[in-house]
Amino acid sequence: MRPVHRATLRGLGAYIPKKLLTNFDLEKMVDTTDEWIRTRTGIETRYIAEKGQSASDLGVEACRQALENAKLKASEVELIIVATITPDMLFPSTACYIQNKLGAKCGAFDMAAACSGFPYALAVGQGFVESGMYQTVLVVGTEVLSSFIDWKDRSTCVLFGDGAGAAVVTRSQDDQSGILSSYLGSDGSQAGLLQIPGGGSMNPPSEETIKGGLHFLKMQGSEVFKVAVRTMDAAVREVIKQSGMGVQDIDCLIPHQANLRILQAVAHRLEIPMEKIFINVMRYGNMSSASTIVALYDAVKMGKIKKGDDVVLVAFGGGLTWAANHIRW
């Protein structure tokens, strides 16, 4: 059913920290090679936050740029939704830190859906705008994963990077463009595949949790790989079906950037040519909640998306979670 107010993305922003970490740098830190990382993942470089630079520091820069692009002031923002799994603190929310740094006066909250964070948060922002409750919502994905990575564990430390992206979601001015549909999924029975097990109420921080490295990100990589391909394929099909269209109608697919091989497998299953899939995992690695929004930002900046295009954002991640949004540009 057509909502009363259609939601659209009015301005985008991204912020990537300055510090570059190449595969060759990682060769000096753990038993790995540039060749292994490139052939297994497609990743060549990633960027790492400075010591003391938190998720809200990265996020607020992305928000400032998104507001500038939308030609809106912070005082016009009515709600801030931040997707992150690497918050400044367990509480208060990173969204509150961003609200204060921006100088906005509005509601603010965090949500955690791991790498599906941005498409999840965008669906929530869409709901607020469609319902008429708010007209201007800032949706942010920001991560400082480097703070939760075991830099001695070669199976995870080569995969991730830090960064942030933001979108200003407002009422669409025309009847054609905007977010046409969103689709969310989860399967908590597979929570163990991807998690930071320590530091929460299940395993409160203690000498044992620190010694056991439970405060670091843990992943069963090959299992996640299989689920990722299956769920992204299904989420794309579902979201485009909800809009009454087919996979062949997609002009640009913006997937979560975890691994180039996952994206090739998804393209194969969906029978979408690789030219229609935007990929920047080689530059940034996996930035979890920030990946899809930074990819969308880069795709727009590089002129890969034009007015009227059907764009699909799709992601999967810890939870497990998966999500997709269909946006008519």
Binding site for ligand ACO (CB under 6 A): 32, 36-37, 40-41, 114-115, 154-155, 158, 194, 219, 221-222, 224-225, 228, 258-259, 262, 286, 288, 317-318
- Which residue is catalytic, options 106, 115, 157, 252? 115
Catalytic site includes residue 256: yes
Nearer CB in complex with ligand ACO: 95/290 = 290
At its nearest, how many Å lie between ligand ACO and the CB of residue 225?
Answer: 4
Nearer to ligand ACO, 107 or 221 (CB): 221
- Shortest Cβ 285–ligand ACO spacing (Å): 10
DSSP 277: B
Of residues 83 and 95, the one with the C-beta less far from ligand ACO = 83
How many alpha carbons fall within 13 Å on the CB side of residue 286? Answer: 27
Q: How far apart are CA 252 and CA 272, in angstroms?
A: 10
Query: Burial code of 191-223, b = ≥16 C-beta within 10 A, e = fewer?
Result: eebbbbbbbeeeeeeeeebeeeebbbbbbeeee
d(CA 275, CA 278): 7
325 has catalytic annotation? no
- Please state at what angle helix 221-242 crosses helix 260-270, rounded to 10 degrees: 40
Active-site residue (options: 106, 256, 280, 326): 256
Cβ neighbours for 64, distance < 8 A, ≥ 6 positions apart: 13, 102
Distance CA 202, CA 187 (A): 19
Beta strand 252-255 with 310-317 is parallel
Q: How far is the CB of 20 from ligand ACO (least distance, A)?
A: 18
Q: In whole angstroms, what is the distance from residue 92 CA to residue 132 CA?
A: 27
State the distance between the two ends of the chain, measured CA to CA, in whole angstroms. 19
Q: How far is the CB of 155 from ligand ACO (least distance, A)?
A: 4
> Which CB, 262 or 266, lies closer to ligand ACO?
262
Instruction: Note if 96 is an active site residue.
Output: no
Catalytic residue from among 23, 286, 325, 326: 286
What minimum distance in Å lies between the beta carbon of 29 and ligand ACO?
10
Which residue lies nearer to ligand ACO by CB, 13 or 42? 42
Residue placing its CB nearer to ligand ACO in the complex, 222 or 248? 222
Distance in angstroms (rounded) separating the CA atoms of residues 231 and 242: 16
The CB-of-193 to ligand ACO minimum distance in angstroms stands at: 9
Q: What share of the chain is helix, strand, coil (3-state, %, to 5)?
A: 40, 25, 35
Identify which of 324, 261, 262, 268 has the alpha carbon closest to the alpha carbon of residue 296: 324
Q: Taking CA 82 as the corner, what is the angle to CA 78 and CA 88, rounded to the nearest 5 degrees?
A: 125
Give catalytic residue positions. 115, 256, 286
